[in-house]
Amino acid sequence: MNSTDTSTLYIHPDRNLALELVRATEAAAIRATPFIGRGDKNAADGAAVDAMRAFLGTVNFDGVIVIGEGEKDNAPMLFNGEHVGNGRGPACDIAVDPIDGTSLTAAGRQNALSVIAVSDRGTMLDASSVFYMNKIVTGPEGVGVVDLRQSIGDNIRELAKKKGKDVGEIRVAVLDRPRHEGLIDEIRSAGAGTRLMLDGDVAGGINAARYESRIDLCVGIGGSPEGITTACAIKAIGGFMQGQLAPRDDAEREKARAAGLDYDVILSADDMVKGDNTFFVATGVTDGGLVEGVRRKGPIIRTESIVLRSRSGTIRRIVADHLAEKWL
């Protein structure tokens, strides 16, 4: 390419985009902080949405939200199909969750995150017509070993063998929900231990794929928006993920068919997000195993974020100090 030829510079998201997007997750996390432990998850989510939308409007890209959060419980949301960014620069698909873990935030519990995932335009599966997805996530050891079509006991035993661990050393993250009572019993009957999550299965999935994590596997039914978001992260980490859409009733099954979605198919991470140019950005709202939450330290507000990019295979941690007076 000629040094003065700029015609191809904005076809795909470039390496600086995630470092711009982190400003939006930082803003959402900071604005949600006053609502931690206040019992009002919609107020926390609304503050995060407003902050994220404002900052996204300053970023040099043409983003379309393919899958967002909020319809499930009538919470505030950045809506599906909304254009974000200033319209200049690369064309992108966006999966967004201003707070993954609104209930955690409202209760003052750990592991709430502000999250954005990005891929090239036309590469992200629009699963918005089905709210839930059955998922299984692990590190690269799971490739060719773990499969949603197998029993959880077989998955645990095969993964333990591949990782050179005793089954009793395997730790499985799963959302603590009534729908998972049988699954939890099966995990424990197989001899593995559980790590029950109150909410926020994006962090659970990422932790299952990280090599230094104590979590070996993340399983169960959670939100389909979180599934697409997690897939962006897993492609950057190099882990393994499968998902299967889980319609709740006949009406949702019909919506899935109308949208051209096959809920009988097992989806890989590549099915959920095609290509090798994904970004995942998350800032901690409350403390957790992935990142620390927002902290006020005298005249500053400190945030910690994680930035992942699949094309380069990089994981960056960003600690930022913000002058508190600028946020009053």
Q: Is 201 annotated in some ligand binding site? A: yes
Buried b (16+ CB within 10 A) or exposed e, 33-60: bebbeeeebebbbbbbbbbbbebbeebe
Q: How many CA atoms lie within 13 A of 295 on its CB side?
A: 14
Q: Is 122 annotated in some ligand binding site? A: no
Backbone angles phi, psi at 301, to 5 degrees: -115, 125
Q: Is 109 annotated in some ligand binding site? A: no
Q: Is 325 annotated in some ligand binding site? A: no
Q: Is 211 annotated in some ligand binding site? A: no
Q: Is 199 annotated in some ligand binding site? A: yes
Buried b (16+ CB within 10 A) or exposed e, 136-171: bbbbebbeebbeeeeebeebbbbbbebbeeeeeebb
Q: Is 13 annotated in some ligand binding site? A: no
Q: Is 45 annotated in some ligand binding site? A: yes
Q: Is 82 annotated in some ligand binding site? A: no
Q: Is 149 annotated in some ligand binding site? A: no
Q: Is 226 annotated in some ligand binding site? A: yes
> Cβ distance 78 to 84 under 8 Å?
yes
Q: Is 271 annotated in some ligand binding site? A: no
> Cβ distance 127 to 242 under 8 Å?
no
Q: Is 179 annotated in some ligand binding site? A: yes
Q: Is 93 annotated in some ligand binding site? A: no
Q: Is 88 annotated in some ligand binding site? A: no
Per the annotation, where are the binding residues for substrate?
100-102, 132, 177-179, 199-201, 223
Per the annotation, where are the binding residues?
45, 69, 97, 100-102, 132, 177-179, 199-201, 223, 226
Per the annotation, where are the binding residues for Mn(2+)?
45, 69, 97, 100, 226
